[in-house]
Structure 1
Amino acid sequence: MVRQFLPGIAALVAVGLLARGVSRVVPEANHLIVAIVLGVVVANTYGVPDRAESGVGTHTLWLETGIVVMGASVALDRVVAAGPTILALVVGTALTTVVVVEVLARGLFAIDEETGSLLAAGSGICGVSAVVAIAESIHADETRIAYAAATVLLFDAVTLLVYPVVGHLLGLSDAVFGVWAGLTMFSTGPVTAAGFAFSPAAGRWALLVKLTRNALIGLAAVAYAVYYARRSGRTADGVGLDHLWRTFPKFVLGFLGVMVLANVGVLGPQAMDSLSHASDWLFLFAFAGLGLTIDVDELRSTGYEPVLVVFVGLVTVSTTALIVVAALF
């Protein structure tokens, strides 16, 4: 059983170590970004062998484990102090993004409702995970799921590279960049990579804000399920507390648990330092896997209308959010 994962895990380790080597030769190149880029090059030049696919697919597990471990380096007093502001920003930005993308999709570009809803959820909540969760709630067609997921992945790849560059050009502080990225980028992996590429402090802020956003996925899934059920005359069966728990990202609870343990003194300085190094390695292998799963040809096949909808929505919300965050932080 374990043996089937070894070739893929070996590939993650190899790409990760190579990325580390490149970042030492070129200090300006962040090793996490390099790992993703190398993964993309390998996957789209040589391809990932069938026997390595299952192991490469574990990159999401490495990411979630890294996030849980990262909880040890987050200061609880900062979270408590910024909590109400962060929560208000997250809810406001998520709702605004969903509404803007829905209006653009249905009004200006006449994209079918289901695809528009999947794009809105993916943009506003947590990327491809939200696309899949909402698709399950509204019983969306598989073609529409693939269409929306490919569009979200395209923007994950672009924003991963663009956000740190923009942040440095604008001279943003660590807190402003981290909160901004956590509020407006799409999927957890790229948000984490972009945040830590900017700085360790920005990475922690980005991760904290993004996890708060991720927690909205269950509520969004239930809301969409009820809406589409009423429109079609169906009953919204199975969208209560069970659905909320099923769609809720469980690793968020692990992150919170480790953060509390670290801040009440259960974990000593040596243990926290070890966990910090462990999270860095876990993220490295996770992002190597993220790169290895990006299919450039698939991204090219995305139609222009969904791309325009998400682009206009992203630019509108991202610009507004940056102005607000800069004023608050």
Structure 2
Amino acid sequence: MKKIISYIPGFILALMIAVVATWIEMLLPIHLIGASVIALFIGMLLNPLIKKNKLIGKGINFTSKKILRFSIILLGASLSITTILQVGRISLAVMFFTLLTCFGGGYFVGKWLGLNWKLSNLISAGTGICGGSAIAAVAPVIDAEDKDIAYAMSATFIFDMVMILLFPIMGRAIGLNDMAFGLWAGTAINDTSSVVAAGYAFSEAAGDFATMVKLTRTLVIIPTVLVFSLINARIKVNSQNLNEQASKKVKITTLFPWFILAFVGMSLLNSFGFFPAALSSTLKDISKFLMVAALAAIGMKTNFSEMKQSGFNPMIHGFIISSLVVIVAFIVIYFMGLV
């Protein structure tokens, strides 16, 4: 009981920041920036003031790890495999090439820029799947550091800010129809709120289709976290130079973390209709809010000076990969005859 009480001050502070960040997001006339990014930055600004505060330290650490995992589990209740069928094979074809660009191209770009594989793949996941949610989901299974999470969030956020403004202008200049623009925006812009903002800035029909495509992209979180869980487990085994006998002792919970199994289980239950639409929507809202709180906690644990050590290379990585995704998505759409 005493241990639980020690978590309360830091947890409440993270929740308060999440409330403020959500309120700021609602005040914005256009969703240029999501609450998760706002909370992350507020937390980072508070870091110098609270980094040595033992009263809230345990709660912040608890929120950044345990609450983050719990929010990911709840996120699964809002995902449905049937969404793929609603959008159709058209968006899946584009997503295949954009994801190949993100993770394939991201690997070589990360090597070229000298980034560690965790930061490189966090940026690729955020760019290829769904921004902050993908970064939050992948980070725990690869044991990413808080500064890597913060840098990956920043890299994808900055590009999204630019794309919200440029995408509608480029779409009209190129002469895209509503479906083509919705498909382009839904597969090339990172965060959900940014996709919605850019899509509806073009037209209502484009916004509707872009949102549906984006929801389909979110489903890719499931296989992505499973693959990275296996990769990280393999790297741990190799780095520790374990012998064959020790390797046999690797547990299934190491390969597939419990919260990811729970996440997949929730998405399957939702796919088979076990969650009413109202409950699924409520769980998604709770998941989103808790994720904002977790990112606030991560921000409070992140020091600007530590991020500076990585220089501008992570931002360059994010810009290159995001730009390639925009180009590849358009080329695929063009050859599909939708332009």
**TM-score greater than 0.5 by the shorter chain:** yes
In structure 1, what residue type is equivalent to 2:223? T
In structure 2, what residue type is equivalent to 1:3? I
Structure-2 residue corresponding to 1:323 = 327
* 1:247–1:296 Cα change, 3 Å: farther
Q: Percent identity?
A: 14
Question: In the alignment, is the contact (CA less than 8 A) between 1:225 and 1:236 conserved in 2?
Answer: no
- The number of equivalent residue pairs is 290
Question: In the alignment, is the contact (CA less than 8 A) between 1:179 and 1:325 conserved in 2?
Answer: yes
* 1:87–1:274 Cα change, 3 Å: same
For 1:132 and 1:285, locate their aligned partners in 2 and report how far apart those are by CA, in whole Å.
16
Deviations 1:2-39 (A, max 9, x none): 10100001101211222233344444454333322322
Question: In the alignment, is the contact (CA less than 8 A) between 1:37 and 1:291 conserved in 2?
Answer: yes
Q: 1:290 aligns with which of 290, 294, 298?
A: 298
Per the TM alignment, residue 123 of structure 1 is displaced from its structure 2 partner at its CA by 4.9
What SS is found at the alignment partner of 2:302? coil
Q: 1:21 aligns with which of 20, 23, 27?
A: 23
In structure 1, what residue type is equivalent to 2:157? L
Structure number with the bigger relative contact order (C-alpha 8 A, sep ≥ 6) is 2
* 1:2–1:133 Cα change, 3 Å: closer
Question: In the alignment, is the contact (CA less than 8 A) between 1:8 and 1:54 conserved in 2?
Answer: yes
Question: In the alignment, is the contact (CA less than 8 A) between 2:123 and 2:152 conserved in 1?
Answer: no
Are 1:49 and 2:58 counterparts? no
In structure 2, what residue type is equivalent to 1:22? I
Structure-2 residue corresponding to 1:187 = none
Question: In the alignment, is the contact (CA less than 8 A) between 1:219 and 1:244 conserved in 2?
Answer: no
Structure-2 residue corresponding to 1:158 = 155
Q: 2:231 aligns with which of 220, 226, 236?
A: 220
Structure-1 residue corresponding to 2:110 = 101
RMSD of equivalent CA atoms: 4.1
Deviations 1:130-166 (A, max 9, x none): 799779xxxxxxxxx98xx746643432322432432
Are 1:7 and 2:16 counterparts? no
Unaligned runs of 5+ in 2: 126-133, 172-180, 198-210, 334-339
For 2:305 and 2:259, locate their aligned partners in 1 and report how far apart those are by CA, in whole Å.
32
Q: 2:276 aligns with which of 268, 275, 282?
A: 268
Unaligned runs of 5+ in 1: 106-110, 136-144, 183-193
Deviations 1:174-221 (A, max 9, x none): 664554456xxxxxxxxxxx3345439376455433443322214433
Q: 2:66 aligns with which of 48, 61, 65?
A: 61
Deviations 1:51-91 (A, max 9, x none): 21221122333333223222333342233655964566545
Q: 1:254 aligns with which of 253, 258, 262?
A: 262
What SS is found at the alignment partner of 1:242? coil
Structure-2 residue corresponding to 1:280 = 288
* 1:250–1:166 Cα change, 3 Å: farther
* 1:122–1:284 Cα change, 3 Å: closer
For 1:249 and 1:175, locate their aligned partners in 2 and report how far apart those are by CA, in whole Å.
33
* 1:97–1:161 Cα change, 3 Å: closer
Question: In the alignment, is the contact (CA less than 8 A) between 1:32 and 1:287 conserved in 2?
Answer: yes
In structure 2, what residue type is equivalent to 1:31? A
For 1:269 and 1:133, locate their aligned partners in 2 and report how far apart those are by CA, in whole Å.
29
* 1:90–1:12 Cα change, 3 Å: same
In structure 2, what residue type is equivalent to 1:321? V
For 2:321 and 2:23, locate their aligned partners in 1 and report how far apart those are by CA, in whole Å.
37
Deviations 1:294-316 (A, max 9, x none): 2112212x154xx43x4554433
Question: In the alignment, is the contact (CA less than 8 A) between 1:22 and 1:31 conserved in 2?
Answer: yes
Per the TM alignment, residue 100 of structure 1 is displaced from its structure 2 partner at its CA by 3.5
Question: In the alignment, is the contact (CA less than 8 A) between 1:214 and 1:249 conserved in 2?
Answer: no
For 1:131 and 1:73, locate their aligned partners in 2 and report how far apart those are by CA, in whole Å.
20
Deviations 1:101-149 (A, max 9, x none): 32x25xxxxx6xxx755655555568799799779xxxxxxxxx98xx7
